[in-house]
Amino acid sequence: MDFTLDKYRQLLTALVQSNIPFTLRHDVDLLPANSLRTAQIEHQLNLKATYYFRTVPESYNPQIIQQIHALGHEIGYHYESLTTCRGDIVAAYQDFCKNLQQLRTLAPITSICMHGSPRSPYDSRDLWQSYDYHTLGITNEPYFDTDFTTTLYITDTGRRWDGYNVSRRDKIPHHQDDWTRRGLSFHTTDQIIAQLTNPRSPLRQSGLKLLITTHPQRWTQPGPAHLKEYLAQSLKNIVKRMLIHQADKKNKPKQ
């Protein structure tokens, strides 16, 4: 069974034993208590990660944010201001600054990461076409500040490790085809673990660092919550495929 806390621990153990340099990133979209559980597992293994929190009720939990930070993890801001402000650039920047300051009352924030908002027509990364996040004391936005020629991006978006096929924004399109050709595309956690533990695998031979993104809401023990997340994400993937198809059709040049 995939996407359990036991499976996550197995993945982390394989990562450590592989000696491949890796960075752990977590998007806390929902269920912040799940993030505390993954943070505790990482702490037990002497690992540090970055947890990106939204400032909406389903993600923002001051007590849990402070507990995760106390375990030695970094707290980041999972921003979605262009979506919440319906494309208004000025209002979105003001919203971003307000939310950033709110999070900074709980922990130092120097890293931000866009929340994909798949049903929204707005990409919040477009905010930085008009503003510069560095002027706010931000040093890292993974989509802009990662060298993907030396780093392989792996994400569990869509509750699958090849979820870039059903994702509108959580993907690296200019590099994904190359990674796939090199055998660096995965569907299950076990497939990643198998390559991590095999010295001759494409992953171990690639020479690439790893940037791994998970959504802790997906990682639970077997039971009703695990089944609920599976069913909900399966439905979301269908909707996202439809949205991607509509966007592709809209952007297709007319004959």
Instruction: Measure the CA–CA gap between 92 and 113, rounded to whole angstroms.
Output: 15
Which pLDDT value is given to residue 243?
Answer: 54
Is 255 within a domain? no
Distances in Å between the alpha carbon of 206 and those of 10, 150, 183, 184, 218? 22, 9, 10, 9, 28
143's CB contacts (< 8 A; 6+ apart) are: 113, 114, 125
Is 160 within a domain? yes
Is 181 within a domain? yes
Is 201 within a domain? yes
Determine which helix (DSSP H) or strand (DSSP E) holds 181, and give its type and residue range: helix 173-181
Is 254 within a domain? no
Which pLDDT value is given to residue 226?
Answer: 80
Which pTM value belongs to this model?
0.90
Q: 66 is in which domain, residue-wise?
A: 5-249
Which pLDDT value is given to residue 237?
Answer: 57
Which pLDDT value is given to residue 173?
Answer: 85
Instruction: Measure the CA–CA gap between 202 and 204, rounded to whole angstroms.
Output: 6
Is 242 within a domain? yes
Is 82 within a domain? yes
Distances in Å between the alpha carbon of 220 and those of 1, 34, 60, 216? 11, 7, 19, 8
Domain containing residue 240: CATH number: 3.20.20
**Total domains present in the chain:** 1
**pLDDT (tens digit, 9 = 90+) per residue, 126-166?**
999 999 999 999 999 999 999 999 999 999 998 999 988 77
Which residue is listed with tokens 């971003």? 96
Mean pLDDT of the chain: 92
Which pLDDT value is given to residue 19?
Answer: 97
- Can you tell me whether residue 26 is helix, strand or coil? strand
- Can you tell me whether residue 107 is helix, strand or coil? coil
> Structure tokens of 60?
């923002």
User: Residue 53: beta bridge partners?
Assistant: 28, 77
Is 215 within a domain? yes
With contact defined as beta carbons under 8 Å apart, do 230 and 176 qualify?
Answer: no
Which pLDDT value is given to residue 33?
Answer: 97
Which pLDDT value is given to residue 118?
Answer: 79
Which pLDDT value is given to residue 188?
Answer: 97
With contact defined as beta carbons under 8 Å apart, do 47 and 72 qualify?
Answer: no
Which pLDDT value is given to residue 79?
Answer: 98
Ranges of residues in the chain with a pLDDT under 70 are 230, 234-255
